Structure 1
Amino acid sequence: MKLKNLIIPFMSLFLIVVSSSEGFSQNQFKALVFSKTKGFRHQSIPDGVVALKKLARDNAFQIYTTEDEDFITDKNLASFDVIILMSTTGTIFNSEQKKSIEKFVQSGKGIVGIHSATDTEYEWGWYTKLIGAQFLNHPHQQTLKLNVVDRNHPATYHLPEKWVWSDEIYAFKNFNENVNVLITADENTYDAKEGMGEFHPIAWTHEYDGGRIFYTALGHTDWAFQDDNFMKHILGGIWWAAKGYPVE
């Protein structure tokens, strides 16, 4: 009688574990969120990491977060499909870690850069081409009109052609003209100071050295990661960089 009483709860626990394991194994892809900073550190990073975890939970993909650059090895990266650089800054990788990231991209996988990912690794030419530009400057936070110039991408399917948004708007140098620009800033709608003129890219995507790259300059503020439109923008970029499905 006692043995029977033990078997029933054990079997129930077994079924729960099996069910959870099956659900976990059916995730679409696996993302690594890396948020190391060795320059300016954005206050929005913790909010962004939490928002990405929620995004993973709600959209059936796995996520692992770290700020430990020693995690960046060939072996560890092999299990991931996309690396998300969450407002990284400064020189954060050594030569071996750079090689591991290059191999990761060359194997056909994806990189997503959010906000200050362009304020990262200025001396690494390969990375500059990969991420698409280097941060130059920004004025104070303002509201402006963003032009969604390409709506044939998962990161912009849902957006209006004219998107009113408030953020810290980056201007760039060493811009990679081979990228596909998704969103531009209308400098006539805010005080750009030393901006980029009529063509001011804000978000873009491209294929580089075998991999897929999505970058958005948006995401300076905490509240950006509570905005549905912005999080759908991020999700579309992650999904495309990880999966590589056609976007037309």
Structure 2
Amino acid sequence: MMIRLFVLILGGWLLTAAGPPHSVLIFSHTTGFRHASIEPARDAITSAARDKGYRVVASEDPALFDDAATLKRFSAIVLLSTTTKRNDPASEWLTGARRDAMQAYVRGGGGVVGIHGAADSHYHWGWYGQMIGARFARHPAGTPEGTVTRAALDHPAIRDLPESIKLTDEWYWFDDVDPRLRPLLMLDPASIGEQGVNPRSLAWAHGFEGGRVFYTALGHTAAAWRDPQVVSHVMGGIDWAVGRGARPMVVVTDDAKKVEEPPPHGRIGMSTAWRITDGVPGRMMEYRKRALHPGAAIGIHPIDHDEVYAVVSGEGEVTSDGVTALLRPGM
């Protein structure tokens, strides 16, 4: 008897097609260190966003966060170097009902884009650090030129960047980094004179409590915002946060990629495979159907991503972490 499986391999970013114009709030209120790049960044993002059809509101008024209804007007909130003072809880403007409003916004599917000093903020609110994904710890002196590499991922924030790029910035080191984050950009510390240090994450995107959060550590200098690659990077993050930037739809049939082949991970026996998503360019997930012939097996293998199996017919066994269980249809 053959066992038939549907296999869904996850781990990418789900993007929806563009709809009506999105509204974006660029918020740059500070009570901590005030970056001189805030005004150039605000102007560059506003111009680029409007060119892409966004409605833009720029503000430094914390009262916008007084209630969730106001925040719901925006598809994304850009926290532009919104620093507070590390040792002064009174410097934090997201308190009381504003915290409730921010949480409701994110949990309702809102997008958040944190830029540079947004990680140097609200040290006395644990949820904020979890949302951003990390907290600012320190930075090496000055703004040296560093080598930045992009991840081998198809994400709007890095899609138009070269594999390696030289940039001048203030390079952040982080504490309390969420280990589940998938870095989009990495700094080579040796390129700025930091020897014996592992590559440092500079940008990431993650789903958080129903919302979408993108963060980049770039943007300390005013000159950075005259660099079209930096602006493109940030705009890609905004696109992702609001659900734009999807690849064109591709329609495939399961017979289009039907092949006879040994199963993966050990080539034990033979299988019939429908490699359904192989023809989808830039895909971030796999969807396959596979019929294992009698005696065939997908070999034991480590994984660093989600895999979902659904048994359509037949019986078999699955082993995970040393535990073996019987598989039947519907399991």
Q: Give the TM-score, by structure 2 length.
A: 0.64
1:101 maps to which residue?
102
2:40 pairs with 1:40:
no
Matches within 5 A, 1:82-101: 82-90=76-84, 91-101=92-102
Please say if residues 156 and 245 of structure 2, whose CA atoms lie closer than 8 Å, have aligned partners that are also in contact. no
* C-alpha RMSD over aligned residues: 1.6
The residue type equivalent to 1:242 in the other structure is V
Q: Counterparts of 2:130 and 2:242 in 1: how far apart (Å)?
A: 19
Moved segments of 4+, more than 4 Å: 244-247
SS at match of 2:43: helix
2:264 maps to which residue?
none
**Alignment match of 1:55 (pick from 48, 51, 55):** 48
SS at match of 1:85: strand
Matched length: 221
Please say if residues 151 and 183 of structure 2, whose CA atoms lie closer than 8 Å, have aligned partners that are also in contact. yes
The residue type equivalent to 1:52 in the other structure is I
**Alignment match of 1:156 (pick from 155, 158, 162):** 158
2:72 maps to which residue?
78
Q: Which stretch shifts more, 121-130 or 110-119?
A: 121-130
The superposition leaves residues 157-189 of structure 1 with CA deviations (integer Å, 9 ceiling, x where unpaired) of 011111111100000011111122101110111
**Alignment match of 2:192 (pick from 177, 180, 190):** 190
Q: Counterparts of 1:53 and 1:134 in 2: how far apart (Å)?
A: 26
Q: Counterparts of 1:171 and 1:137 in 2: how far apart (Å)?
A: 5
Q: Counterparts of 1:149 and 1:217 in 2: how far apart (Å)?
A: 15
Q: Counterparts of 2:34 and 2:20 in 1: how far apart (Å)?
A: 31
Q: Which has the higher helix share?
A: 1
Q: Counterparts of 2:21 and 2:152 in 1: how far apart (Å)?
A: 25
Shift of 1:153: 0.3
| Larger Rg belongs to | 2
Q: Which stretch shifts more, 216-225 or 184-193?
A: 184-193
The superposition leaves residues 61-92 of structure 1 with CA deviations (integer Å, 9 ceiling, x where unpaired) of 11101111111121211111100000110122
Shift of 1:244: 5.8
2:302 maps to which residue?
none
Q: Counterparts of 1:219 and 1:110 in 2: how far apart (Å)?
A: 20
The superposition leaves residues 103-126 of structure 1 with CA deviations (integer Å, 9 ceiling, x where unpaired) of 000001110000010001111111
Shift of 1:245: 5.8
The superposition leaves residues 107-163 of structure 1 with CA deviations (integer Å, 9 ceiling, x where unpaired) of 011100000100011111111111011111111110010111244100000111111
The residue type equivalent to 1:64 in the other structure is V
Shift of 1:236: 0.3
Q: Counterparts of 1:27 and 1:65 in 2: how far apart (Å)?
A: 20
The superposition leaves residues 171-213 of structure 1 with CA deviations (integer Å, 9 ceiling, x where unpaired) of 00111111221011101111238x9x21310000100100001
Percent identity of paired positions between Structure 1 and Structure 2:
35
The residue type equivalent to 1:65 in the other structure is A
Q: Counterparts of 1:146 and 1:202 in 2: how far apart (Å)?
A: 9
Q: Counterparts of 1:187 and 1:74 in 2: how far apart (Å)?
A: 41
Q: Counterparts of 1:94 and 1:174 in 2: how far apart (Å)?
A: 21
1:5 maps to which residue?
none
Please say if residues 138 and 192 of structure 1, whose CA atoms lie closer than 8 Å, have aligned partners that are also in contact. no
SS at match of 1:42: coil
Please say if residues 27 and 62 of structure 1, whose CA atoms lie closer than 8 Å, have aligned partners that are also in contact. no
SS at match of 2:157: coil
SS at match of 1:192: coil
2:228 pairs with 1:228:
yes
Q: Give the TM-score, by structure 1 length.
A: 0.85
SS at match of 2:185: strand
Shift of 1:243: 1.5
Q: Counterparts of 1:154 and 1:212 in 2: how far apart (Å)?
A: 13
The residue type equivalent to 2:223 in the other structure is W
Q: Counterparts of 2:130 and 2:180 in 1: how far apart (Å)?
A: 9
SS at match of 1:219: coil
Q: 1:150 to 1:129 in 2, by over 3 A?
A: farther
SS at match of 1:129: helix
2:210 pairs with 1:216:
no
